[in-house]
Chains A and B, each alone.
Chain A
Amino acid sequence: MSDKKNNFTTISFRGGGFQFKNNYWISPTVFIVLLLLWHFGSTLGFISNLVLPKPTEVLIAFHDLYVTGDLYLHVGASLKRLILGWTLGTIIGIIIGFAIGLFALVRAGLAPIVAAIFPIPKIALLPLFIIWFGIGELSKINLILFGTLFPTIIATYGAIDNVDRSLIRLGQSFNLSWFSITRKIVFTASLPAILSNMRITAAIAIILIVAAELIAAEKGIGAYIQMAGSLFAIDRLLAGIIILSCLGLIANWLIGLTERKLLKWRNL
């Protein structure tokens, strides 16, 4: 005890942990290990081929898709619907969101309707849309448009509500025109929220297109998966699912790219 009283002792460090470290090699390793487990599980018979075919078989199904040109056919059909529906839904959603965010009258009129339609699972509208727009492209594109429209409206006017009022006051105090304040301050300030909403709507669009194609389509990734399922061709079914995963990843990557370009000032 007298030692502790009279001598200096080093204070032990207790501030570690609770922080991210970038381990770039971990995730590829986990991925490869899982693939190997799957491969050896299938070849050694732990996993029944009826339930889960070998990874190489999925790869062959993928190769077939590519060689026969069906890949372009199905992915192309889905992409066309996705891009058209998502782009239209996003643009119209941003415009309506801005109208609600900027004009009290529009908000009073539209916000309750948006709130009422937003929670409807949009896939429930597909039968209605088929009656309205026919079995062809229009019903699917409209479904995606509808599915992306409402989240975009809500995210956009929510973003506008959150714009720092002091920046708007700044604009007014320097006599900036209404249009200048809207474009240079309100729009730019709400851009981060609008862009991060695009990640969500891209995922929604992919969910909706597959659901719609499962129900009623001859072409498209959903239709391909549906066909494979009814033929019990699990290798092709899995190939379809992998394409969907890639589609989602690519969409996410593109939005990330846009964010880095448009939101340079945040330096994230």
Chain B
Amino acid sequence: MELAVKNVSKTYGNLLVLNKINLKIDEGQIVCVIGPSGCGKSTLLRLIGGLENPDTGSIEARGIPPSDCLNPLTFIFQDFSLLPWRTVEKNISLVLEDHGLSTSNRNEIIRSVLRRTKLTEFSDRWPRELSGGMKQRVGIARALAVNPSVLLMDEPLSALDSQTSEILLVDLIELWEKQRFTSVYITHNLSEAIRIGHKIVVMSRRPGEIRETVNIDSEIMDREIRNIELEEHLWNLLRDEAMAAEWELKNE
């Protein structure tokens, strides 16, 4: 499935958060959105996922999701959003229960996604027993369970320590190699964006506008751990904005 964000603006009260955003997300492509804090990246993702309404413009999808797709646009959240009263298995089951699947069918899907995210032996654990990385694996497993066309990832690794996030990033890259999902990936981590993005969209401070789009042609699997040159280029684009954004928040 491919997505098109067309001329989208969003205001909260008097505050213009997003200003005339145009963005195309191609089938099988990971589009990373980076920008200073408060630039409206997460709002953009929620708009794409239908959790918020744009004031102007529209968000359109093209292509028919596969027949076994239960939820075409599926989120992975920064704070994991696991139900603390459900075990790992039941947290995944939650998103399957409204679809009239048979119990054996459901268990089959759960087993499969747990295996793919290396969680098999944790199926009866409570979320409180898991480390942050494990919790996010459950978040990823839950997203995979509905066989999404597009994964909407809202800073999925930002709540994790840097070692864990590196491990999960590699896992996400491997997963993409196998499934070639379409994705919008919000992050504030430049090197993360350079590692996993086919396209990097740099946003400016509020009101959020697209400042530059960088295409990276090399295969995701073949990339170096760091690309200092590109990182510097992106940082130059962001530095002044990030500083100004910081100052802005403190004066609010």
Interface, chain A (partner B; CB < 8 A): 166-167, 169-170, 172-177, 180, 184-185, 188-189, 263, 265-267
A-B contact pairs, 16 of them (CB 8 A): A166-B79, A166-B81, A170-B75, A173-B75, A174-B74, A176-B94, A176-B95, A184-B83, A184-B97, A188-B85, A189-B85, A263-B85, A265-B84, A265-B85, A266-B84, A267-B126
- CB of B228, distance to nearest CB on chain A (Å): 36
B71 contacts chain A at the CB level, 8 A cutoff: yes
B128 contacts chain A at the CB level, 8 A cutoff: yes
Cα-based distance from A177 to B71 in the complex (angstroms): 13
Cα-based distance from A175 to B148 in the complex (angstroms): 12
Chain A residues with CB under 8 A of B126: 265, 267
Cα-based distance from A174 to B70 in the complex (angstroms): 9
B185 contacts chain A at the CB level, 8 A cutoff: no
Cα-based distance from A176 to B98 in the complex (angstroms): 6
CB-contacts of B36-57 with A (<8 A)? 49, 51
**A173-B51, A180-B97, A267-B128 given as contacts; is B74 within 8 A of A188 (CB)?**
no
Chain B residues with CB under 8 A of A263: 85
Cα-based distance from A177 to B70 in the complex (angstroms): 13
B146 contacts chain A at the CB level, 8 A cutoff: yes
Chain B residues with CB under 8 A of A176: 94-95, 98
Cα-based distance from A266 to B85 in the complex (angstroms): 8
**Supplied contacts A167-B81, A265-B126, 8 more A-B pairs, CB within 8 Å:** A166-B77, A166-B81, A167-B83, A169-B81, A173-B71, A173-B75, A174-B95, A174-B146
Do A170 and B81 have beta carbons less than 8 Å apart? Answer: yes
Contact of A175 among B71, B81, B86, B128 (CB under 8 A): B71
Do A173 and B74 have beta carbons less than 8 Å apart? Answer: yes
The residue in A169, A170, A180 that gathers the most chain B C-beta atoms within 10 A of its C-beta is A170
Cα-based distance from A184 to B85 in the complex (angstroms): 10
Cα-based distance from A266 to B127 in the complex (angstroms): 10
Chain B residues with CB under 8 A of A169: 51, 81
- CB of A192, distance to nearest CB on chain B (Å): 10
Cα-based distance from A180 to B83 in the complex (angstroms): 13
Cα-based distance from A172 to B85 in the complex (angstroms): 18
Task: Please give the number of chain B residues whose Cβ is less than 8 angstroms from any Cβ of chain A in the complex.
Answer: 22
Do A188 and B83 have beta carbons less than 8 Å apart? Answer: yes
CB-nearest residue of chain A to B85? A265
Cα-based distance from A267 to B84 in the complex (angstroms): 11
Contact of B98 among A170, A175, A189, A266 (CB under 8 A): A175
Cα-based distance from A167 to B91 in the complex (angstroms): 12
Cα-based distance from A167 to B86 in the complex (angstroms): 12
Cα-based distance from A249 to B83 in the complex (angstroms): 33
Cα-based distance from A62 to B81 in the complex (angstroms): 55
CB-nearest residue of chain B to A263? B85
- CB of A111, distance to nearest CB on chain B (Å): 25
Cα-based distance from A255 to B81 in the complex (angstroms): 29
Cα-based distance from A144 to B142 in the complex (angstroms): 46
Chain B residues with CB under 8 A of A170: 75, 77, 81
Chain A residues with CB under 8 A of B49: 173
Chain A residues with CB under 8 A of B74: 173-174
- CB of A258, distance to nearest CB on chain B (Å): 15
The residue in A173, A180, A188, A263 that gathers the most chain B C-beta atoms within 10 A of its C-beta is A173
Cα-based distance from A48 to B47 in the complex (angstroms): 79
CB-nearest residue of chain A to B127? A265
Contact of B71 among A166, A174, A189, A265 (CB under 8 A): A174
Cα-based distance from A183 to B163 in the complex (angstroms): 38
Cα-based distance from A82 to B85 in the complex (angstroms): 31
- CB of B81, distance to nearest CB on chain A (Å): 4
Cα-based distance from A166 to B79 in the complex (angstroms): 9
CB-nearest residue of chain B to A176? B98
Contact of B51 among A172, A180, A189, A265 (CB under 8 A): A172
CB-nearest residue of chain B to A266? B84
The residue in A174, A175, A266, A267 that gathers the most chain B C-beta atoms within 10 A of its C-beta is A174
CB-contacts of B76-117 with A (<8 A)? 77, 79, 81, 83-86, 94-95, 97-98
Chain A residues with CB under 8 A of B84: 265-266
4 closest pairs, A vs B, by CB? A170-B81, A265-B85, A174-B95, A173-B75
CB-nearest residue of chain A to B145? A174
Chain B residues with CB under 8 A of A173: 49, 51, 71, 73-75
